[in-house]
A and B are shown apart, each in its own frame.
Chain A
Amino acid sequence: MAARLLLRSAVRAAAACRSVRTPALSRSMAAGGIPTDEEQATGLEKVIMKAMKHGEDPFNMMKPKHYAGSKADPHLVPSITNKRIVGCVCEEDNTAVVWFWLHEGEAQRCPSCGAHYKLVPHELPH
């Protein structure tokens, strides 16, 4: 037990000495020996990590942004092609969803509640 505590404080002291020389790196291969996601992430995980750092959500992991749905502030609907299906839940807890195709160009209105929707081109990272 005492040996372990001694070892731990020795490791911490050594790490402190190291971190003085490289103040920017508190966690990395250079500092502690365990890589970070920044250093080692790959594939789709890396793509998503980079996008999230720039505040982007190319794979729609997050809840869509909230818009008023008016002419001045239409719902912006991202699409990788020139049309996308929209399902409008006109009022909260409505069980009948109003489905329609949203085409690129001028904003369209929901045939039931009149909310404005506008297609926005969306690039897929590849």
Chain B
Amino acid sequence: MAHQVHAYHMVDPSPWPLTGAVGALLLTSGLAIWMHFHNMTLLALGLILLLLTMYQWWRDIVREGTFQGHHTPPVQKGLRYGMILFITSEVFFFLGFFWAFYHSSLAPTPELGGCWPPTGITPLDPFEVPLLNTAVLLASGVTVTWAHHSIMEGHRKEAIQSLTLTILLGFYFTFLQAMEYYEAPFTIADGVYGSTFFVATGFHGLHVIIGSTFLAICLLRQVLYHFTSEHHFGFEAAAWYWHFVDVVWLFLYISIYWWGS
């Protein structure tokens, strides 16, 4: 079985990095073609290829770790470092958009009326739906921690219930935010206020959807008995990502919704 002198995982050859790279190329070029020539073919092709790649690549990782036992302690340590580094890169991604927001809002130009919010913009009341959204995400942080402790203590039913609750709260946030987007009195085209607001909150919303999807996969795996009370790194990674999404929202709420109103 293990004809190796080390505890690391030398992965079998796989086509998914190539299909992922091709998919990313088709997605990006497809986006450009769609914007200029109104044709969605390349974009759709790239999206499908990327989704198929993600599904099959991560399915292979689950097979290698859970079913074949390749995720030894040093391998798991590497996965932990990987997830931490990825989340760190996402922090820097959002840092850029916060920089843009503060650049424009701390010294508003005469074209905006020399004030923030700019003249003519009616910002959303931070103590209405945005405050509810804050409560929803904070509660989901509690439920995901509850789920983690349930797994560690070996309580299957509690783990499934608390993880489901976390995902439902995530969906509730997305639904509320979608309603807010629909009802907002300003659009992305409304000057730098609209740009910074919708790009920052929009990317955050995308990350909420990604995080919810990750948690949903974890729920499926928990139901299928993949996780043990000691070894459940996939769940931990999803929980870390979810906490990151929550923290980003808190910064968004304080900066854009509250201070910026």
A41 within 8 A of B: yes
B74 within 8 A of A: yes
* Stretch in B19-27, B34-42, B155-163, B204-212 touching the partner: B155-163
B67 within 8 A of A: yes
Question: What number of A residues sit within 8 Å (CB to CB) of B?
Answer: 31
Write the chain A residue with the least CB distance to B165: A4
B residues less than 8 Å from A33 (CB atoms): 154-157
Q: How far is the CB of A51 from chain B (nearest CB, A)?
A: 10
Q: How far is the CB of B25 from chain A (nearest CB, A)?
A: 36
Binary interface profile of A, 21-65, with partner B (CB < 8 Å = 1, else 0)? 000001110011111110111111111100000000001110000
A41 to B68, CA, bound (A): 9
Q: Which of A35, A43, A48 contacts B1 (CB 8 A)?
A: A43
A37 to B154, CA, bound (A): 11
Asked if B70 and A43 sit within 8 Å, CB to CB, the answer is yes
A66 within 8 A of B: no
A11 within 8 A of B: yes
Query: In B141-168, which residues have CB < 8 Å from any A CB?
Result: 151, 153-159, 161
Query: In A51-83, which residues have CB < 8 Å from any B CB?
Result: 59-61, 80
* Stretch in B50-58, B115-123, B127-135, B224-232 touching the partner: B224-232
Query: In B1-37, which residues have CB < 8 Å from any A CB?
Result: 1-3, 5-7
Q: Which of B72, B151, B157 contacts A48 (CB 8 A)?
A: B72
Asked if A36 and B154 sit within 8 Å, CB to CB, the answer is yes
A105 within 8 A of B: no
Write the chain A residue with the least CB distance to B225: A35
B residues less than 8 Å from A36 (CB atoms): 154, 228-230
Write the chain A residue with the least CB distance to B2: A44
A56 to B100, CA, bound (A): 55
Asked if A48 and B228 sit within 8 Å, CB to CB, the answer is no
A37-B231, A42-B67 as given contacts; A31 in contact with B2, CB under 8 Å = no
A6 to B6, CA, bound (A): 49
B96 within 8 A of A: no
Query: In B220-247, which residues have CB < 8 Å from any A CB?
Result: 225, 227-231
A residues less than 8 Å from B231 (CB atoms): 37, 41, 45
B69 within 8 A of A: yes
Taking each of B5, B67, B69, which has the highest tally of chain A beta carbons within 10 Å of its own beta carbon?
B69
Asked if A34 and B228 sit within 8 Å, CB to CB, the answer is yes
Q: Which of B1, B7, B73 contacts A126 (CB 8 A)?
A: B1
A35-B228, A36-B230, A61-B7 as given contacts; A46 in contact with B155, CB under 8 Å = no
Write the chain A residue with the least CB distance to B156: A33
A47-B2, A48-B7, A59-B5 as given contacts; A34 in contact with B69, CB under 8 Å = no
Q: Which of B5, B67, B155 contacts A124 (CB 8 A)?
A: B5
Asked if B68 and A42 sit within 8 Å, CB to CB, the answer is yes
A85 within 8 A of B: no
A residues less than 8 Å from B70 (CB atoms): 43-45
In the complex, the 7 A-B pairs of residues with the closest C-beta atoms, listed nearest first: A43-B69, A33-B156, A32-B154, A27-B154, A42-B69, A45-B69, A59-B7
- 6 other A-B residue contacts (CB within 8 Å) besides A35-B229, A48-B7: A8-B158, A32-B153, A33-B155, A34-B156, A34-B228, A80-B5
12 A–B pairs (Cβ distance < 8 Å), ordered by A: A15-B155, A33-B154, A33-B157, A34-B227, A34-B228, A36-B154, A43-B1, A43-B2, A44-B7, A44-B72, A47-B1, A59-B72
